[in-house]
Amino acid sequence: MKKFENKIAVITGGNSGMGYGTAKLLKELGATVIITGRRKEAIEQAAKELGVQAILSDQGKLEDIDSLVTEVTQKFGKVDILFINAGISGTSSIELETPENFDKMMNVNFRGVFFTLNKFIPYLNDGASVVILSSVLASTVSSGLAVYSASKAAINSIMKTAALELAPRKIRVNAISPGAIDTELFSKMGMDDKTLAGMTDYLISLTPIGRIGKPEEIGQLVAFLSSDEASFITGSDHTIDGGSTLL
């Protein structure tokens, strides 16, 4: 019997990067996997490649979160693994930040995460695992990323409170804080191939292990935190960064 056979796993933002890598692994381990995303074609293509279910949903919109919870619970029942992975990034100095960009990032990265958890809680099985994607930038400082860092720091605080509140139901809540991972994030920010290669080399230079991480390595950590082997782990932020925060 596979580790997650008869388990229902929901992954927000599952059509690329870390969400995609995690969906692939959880499917291989026997879970019934549902991925979400904002782009219909991208989410349907990813679901087809992975052999998983797709639901169109924008984590920045509360009505989409409501619809997601309703559809998941009506079709699949209660949830055993919830990986709240969807997020957006962007750079701006504090001086030049606009209210529109601030609200957009916080709506997805903080408000959306909070209410995804909030609305799924009644439909989590006792003993379920919730994993929230944070970032090493929640606890480190990088110029131009004040709002992004703040959104991730807020997530870590919520994660700890949720772990305490849900402990009586044996539901465990943890965060994962990646460093540099090989995803589409930088290309989505409009970098061309040359700039992208330069950024990758720069990030490798900041990582003692000598490479950037792979999306499937995030999946392996999600799988571990959602397994029986991690039944005593809750309220923890797990850094996976190749040692970059040691510098």
Q: Which residues, including other chains, have CB under 8 Å from residue 204's CB and lie 6 or more apart?
A: 180, 210, 211, 212
Distance CA 161, CA 240 (A): 22
* 3-class SS string, 29-73: CCCEEEEEECCHHHHHHHHHHHCCEEEECCCCCHHHHHHHHHHHH
Are the beta carbons of 201 and 162 closer than 8 angstroms?
no
Q: Which residues, including other chains, have CB under 8 Å from residue 185's CB and lie 6 or more apart?
A: 17, 89
Question: Per the residue annotation, which of 20, 123, 148, 202 is the catalytic one?
Answer: 148
Q: For position 192, what pLDDT does the model report? A: 73
20 given a catalytic annotation: no
Q: What is the full per-residue pLDDT of the chain (247 aa) written as tens digits?
A: 799 999 999 999 999 999 999 999 999 999 999 999 999 999 999 999 999 999 999 999 999 999 999 999 999 999 999 999 999 998 999 999 999 999 999 999 999 999 999 999 999 999 999 999 999 999 998 999 999 999 999 999 999 999 999 999 999 999 999 999 988 655 555 567 777 778 888 999 999 999 999 999 999 999 999 999 999 999 999 999 999 999 8
Are the beta carbons of 240 and 218 closer than 8 angstroms?
yes
Sheet with 124-133, strands from edge to edge, namely 53-56, 32-37, 8-11, 79-84, 124-133, 172-178, 237-240
Alpha-carbon dihedral sign for residues 98, 104, 106, 107: positive
Are the beta carbons of 164 and 235 closer than 8 angstroms?
yes
Fill in the DSSP letter of residue 245.
Answer: G
Q: Domain 8-181+215-246 belongs to what architecture? A: 3-Layer(aba) Sandwich (3.40)
Q: For position 190, what pLDDT does the model report? A: 58
Q: For position 188, what pLDDT does the model report? A: 55
Are the beta carbons of 50 and 35 closer than 8 angstroms?
yes
> What 3-state class would DSSP assign to 83?
strand
Please give the structure tokens belonging to residue 185. Answer: 């994030």
Q: How many CA atoms lie within 13 A of 39 on its CB side?
A: 9
Angle at 52 between CA 51 and CA 53, to 5 degrees: 135
Domain parsing of the chain, residue ranges: 8-181+215-246
Residue 1: CB atoms within 10 A of its CB come to 6
Are the beta carbons of 79 and 120 closer than 8 angstroms?
yes
Backbone angles phi and psi of 115, in degrees to 5? -80, -20
Residue 82: CB atoms within 10 A of its CB come to 26
**N- to C-terminal Cα distance for the chain?**
43
